[in-house]
Amino acid sequence: MNSQQQSGTGGRAALEFHASGIAGTEEALCEELRELGLPSVRFNRGGIPFRGTWRDGWRACLQSRIAQRIHLLLARFPAPTPEMLYDGVRDAAWAAHLTTAQTFSVRAVCLGSEIKHSGFAALKVKDALVDHLRESCGERPDVSDDPDVQFFLYLAGDKAALYLDMSGEPLHKRGYRRDAGEAPLRETLAAAILRMSGWDRKTRLLDPMCGSGTIAIEAALWAANIAPGLGRERFGFERWASFGEESAQELRELKGELRAARAGQTPRIIAADVDAGVLAKAQVNARAAGVKLAFREQSVLDLQPDESAALIVTNPPYGVRIETDQLFPRKVMAAFCRLHGWRVGLLAGSPAYALEMSPRPRLRLPLLNGDLPCEFLLYDVP
């Protein structure tokens, strides 16, 4: 597999990919993929499709800060019955990626289809793969919890789409978080709210309740133009049969180009928390990520306007994961109200944060933090 090999369409970008993100971050993800120059990026609520070469797919894995996974589309076919699903999978072009020497797994999602059980659909896909290989090679590949090749079937109505997961471990696992506080944010969600805040990557930025430092670290990586995937040991596609020495060499070259694109000058990024223990963890994580932050042990309630206006992006504690006093949101918002001319972005798990500030937020967006419904609120402090 190399970046010139493009499904036989004479050099045109012919592979189709699909980037998925945390629910509610799709617009930010779409904007990011367009900014990365990936071809034919289209907005879609369930995830963002784009087309391109292998190199484009690898770039998305390495460079997207917001995507949770990147999938490669293998085939679309009608699958109103289990038999047609089986036949469609057998005929799809997956043989270059999975041989009997690899392990594999299948995940399926069924939406409004006759085949209602995702477990049953996944089993049909597995049978088709195994039967085909057994007939052609006399052997079968094993299923594994840590598979070399991960298939994903999306069955909507009677239409099936079969994908390969290029990411392997979800992309929020950057590799730098050595230690976390009580309620760490996914790195991809931190990157999404930074983009939603409208940060220009030049203005001073502060996370006054930084916990393990995720928001501040993601901000520093973005400002320094460091591709978040450069810290990963490997991606799912590196374990496919189609990923040989030539591909490995091309991937090394791509990583080299991305490393060389690191920006020199970055703005001051401050990570603060009232808890010295958690701040020490944030320091370890920042070092592992290779970024420089300023750290402060301070209560958000003591925050005073200093120097010039700055941007705050933060994820305050909330009842479900961390015990706090009922009046805490009110006190925090009173502290923010003193910061005239600043912009404040909050990933809040309690509606109280939306009620305590006037004027109303300029942006209010529902998001999921793990399984906790929360909101991103953006204020311009008058």
Which positions lie near ligand SAM, rule CB under 6 A?
Answer: 180-181, 183-185, 208-209, 211-212, 214-215, 273-275, 278, 299-301, 315-317, 322
Query: Measured from the CB of residue 32, what is the shortest distance to ligand SAM in angstroms?
Result: 20
In terms of CB distance, is 105 or 315 closer to ligand SAM? 315
**Tokens matching residue 323:** 């015990």
Query: Measured from the CB of residue 356, what is the shortest distance to ligand SAM in angstroms?
Result: 15
* Residue number, nearest CB to ligand SAM: 211
Query: Measured from the CB of residue 299, what is the shortest distance to ligand SAM in angstroms?
Result: 4
In terms of CB distance, is 18 or 343 closer to ligand SAM? 343
In terms of CB distance, is 301 or 334 closer to ligand SAM? 301
189-192: long-range contacts (C-beta < 8 A, 24 or more apart)? 189/22, 189/25, 189/347, 189/367, 189/369, 190/214, 190/215, 190/217, 190/218, 190/315, 191/65, 191/66, 191/218, 191/222, 191/228, 192/21, 192/22, 192/25, 192/28, 192/29, 192/65, 192/66, 192/367
Q: For residue 256, what are the CA distances in angstroms to 39, 238, 253, 259, 260?
A: 22, 17, 5, 5, 6
Measured distance CA(221)–CA(177) in Å, rounded: 13
In terms of CB distance, is 232 or 281 closer to ligand SAM? 281
Query: Measured from the CB of residue 177, what is the shortest distance to ligand SAM in angstroms?
Result: 8
Query: Measured from the CB of residue 206, what is the shortest distance to ligand SAM in angstroms?
Result: 11
Scan for tokens 């990157």, then name that residue. Answer: 191
Query: Measured from the CB of residue 180, what is the shortest distance to ligand SAM in angstroms?
Result: 6
- Contact between 112 and 160 under an 8 Å Cβ cutoff? The reply is no
In terms of CB distance, is 64 or 369 closer to ligand SAM? 369
Nearest residue to 280 (alpha-carbon basis) of 174, 185, 179: 179
Nearest residue to 206 (alpha-carbon basis) of 266, 268, 278: 268
Query: Measured from the CB of residue 298, what is the shortest distance to ligand SAM in angstroms?
Result: 7
226-258 burial code (b ≥16 CB/10 A, e <16):
bbbbbbbeebbbbbbbbbeeebeebbeebeeeb
In terms of CB distance, is 92 or 191 closer to ligand SAM? 191
Query: Measured from the CB of residue 182, what is the shortest distance to ligand SAM in angstroms?
Result: 6
DSSP string, 55-77: HHHHHHHHH-SS-SEEEEEEEEE
In terms of CB distance, is 2 or 298 closer to ligand SAM? 298
Measured distance CA(48)–CA(33) in Å, rounded: 9
Phi, psi (deg, nearest 5) at residue 163: -125, 160
In terms of CB distance, is 105 or 214 closer to ligand SAM? 214
Query: Measured from the CB of residue 372, what is the shortest distance to ligand SAM in angstroms?
Result: 10
The residues with which 348 forms a beta bridge, in sequence order, are: 375
- Contact between 202 and 308 under an 8 Å Cβ cutoff? The reply is no
In terms of CB distance, is 91 or 323 closer to ligand SAM? 323
In terms of CB distance, is 191 or 251 closer to ligand SAM? 191
Q: How many CB atoms lie within 10 A of CB 332?
A: 27
Measured distance CA(328)–CA(345) in Å, rounded: 17
Query: Measured from the CB of residue 81, what is the shortest distance to ligand SAM in angstroms?
Result: 46
